[in-house]
Amino acid sequence: MHRILVTGGAGFIGNHLCRRLLREGNRVVCLDDLFTGSLENLRDLRDDPNFTFIEGSVIEPWDLDVDQIYNLACPASPPHYQSDPVRTVKTSFLGALNMLELARKRGATILQTSTSEVYGEPQVHPQPETYRGNVSPIGIRACYDEGKRVAETLFFDYHRQYGVDIRVVRIFNTYGPSMNPLDGRVVSNFIMQALRGEDITIYGDGSQTRCFCYVRDTVEALVRMMNTPGFTGPVNLGNPLEITVGELAERVVCMTGSASRVVFRDLPSDDPTRRRPDISLARERLGWEPRVPLEEGLRETIAYYRGLIARGE
């Protein structure tokens, strides 16, 4: 049994991770300020004697008796992280600093969930971990992109200078049940619009590509990474199956049986046109690759959103 802290544990990936860790017999503390997370995601966990929820922010220092830390705290969708960019930067930088100090004090292993956004608008495709990125430090997405980049810097400096046992993963697009239907991500947008019979909104001409990894696969990779001694990363976690945004919209319309039509809007500033992970390192060091096909994952995600609509949520 480990004593594990999950920051951002009331969020999308975080609540799935908390469940996985509890099923394995661990004691889990979830720290979340509920800026984008939701207590509804944790409703069925609150009576578990091995689960503790603390409402609070990683921007502040914490002293908790833990031996593993998963640092997921940070808004991850553009509408959320751009709504308060200063808070986003502070969460990335100060959050990483405070959690690293906690790990240093307690001798804990700490995992940072970084992002594919550290690669920016990539000039190398697919993106290996050795690629250093093409990121604007002054663009509207920089609060998130550069915040995650400086967090990685802190992690490796704490590792080199203080010997903190770190893990760094770079998560590519992840989707699945409990994803906020209003978070502005392409999968949730398309499914909710289709189920409501609204226009499917594509920004740009739909030719930009993304790769979608089901949340269960992502959580599996996080747990494997945490429990692989001596491997700091960074390591890409994502599904290398590339699909255009236009193709995704067509698939969602077909799978929902929707009569929605597709409409096009201007592409937002700094939005990358291609994104695909090279997961050779994850295969080699973690023995991991995605297992859930896109159609299966979309089916489960659509069912989740149908349930929300049926309940009027």
Which amino acids are annotated catalytic?
144
DSSP 8-state symbol, 134:
B
**Is there a contact between 54 and 31 (Cβ–Cβ < 8 Å)?**
yes
Specify whether the CB–CB gap between 211 and 276 falls below 8 A: yes
What count of Cα atoms within 13 Å lies in the side-chain half-sphere of residue 280?
Answer: 6
Is 111 exposed, middle or buried (CB count within 10 Å of its CB: 0-12, 13-18, 19+)?
buried
Check residue 257 and report its DSSP letter. Answer: T
Q: Burial code of 264-287, b = ≥16 C-beta within 10 A, e = fewer?
A: eeeeeebebebbbbbbebbeeebe
Handedness of CA 173, 254, 289, 30 (dihedral sign): positive
Residue whose entry in the numeric block shows the structure tokens 């990894």: 213
3-class DSSP assignment, residue 266: coil
DSSP 35-85: SS--GGGGGGGTT-TTEEEEE--TTS------SEEEE--S--SHHHHHHSH
Is residue 60 a contact partner of residue 98, using CB atoms and an 8 Å limit?
yes
